[in-house]
Amino acid sequence: MKRSILAVGAGFLVSSLVVFALTMLTVPLFTEVPLANRTEAARSLGAGWYTFELVYTLPVGMLGGYIASRLARRRAFAHALGLAAVFALMGFASVAWSGGLKPQWHDVAVTMAGIAGCLAGGALRARQVAGIPEA
């Protein structure tokens, strides 16, 4: 049980750190507003940023799901499901607390992409453990 919690936590931590780094590095490319003024910076982001965030969320979710599954050693996909549940809780909390800074459809879409990525990463690891060759 302890290893399972640590595995899911590690997957979440790695995913969160990658998202944070990508956000800090790329938001200045999509807005002229300094990041110190978070509210105005968030409001000035447009379709380019929303598209970019959706695109990188899937592979980041895959990374997190794969890490959680890899560290767990047993029941690989179950740990990816656990991480997907954490992503769902965090994503829907983000929708509730975003305060209208971003469109709600975008928060929901990013949450769904993260969940799909977690499940894909876990499925990849489960296939490796089962010895199923990649297509």
**20-36 per-position pLDDT tens digit:** 999 888 888 887 766 66
Q: Which two tokens stand for residue 32?
A: 């002229």
Q: Which residue ranges in the chain fall short of pLDDT 50?
A: none
Can you give the pTM of this predicted structure? 0.85
Q: Give the Cα separation of 33 and 36 in Å (integer).
A: 8
Asked whether 41 and 33 are in contact (CB, 8 A), the reply is: yes
pLDDT digits (tens, 9 = 90+) for 105-116: 888 899 999 999
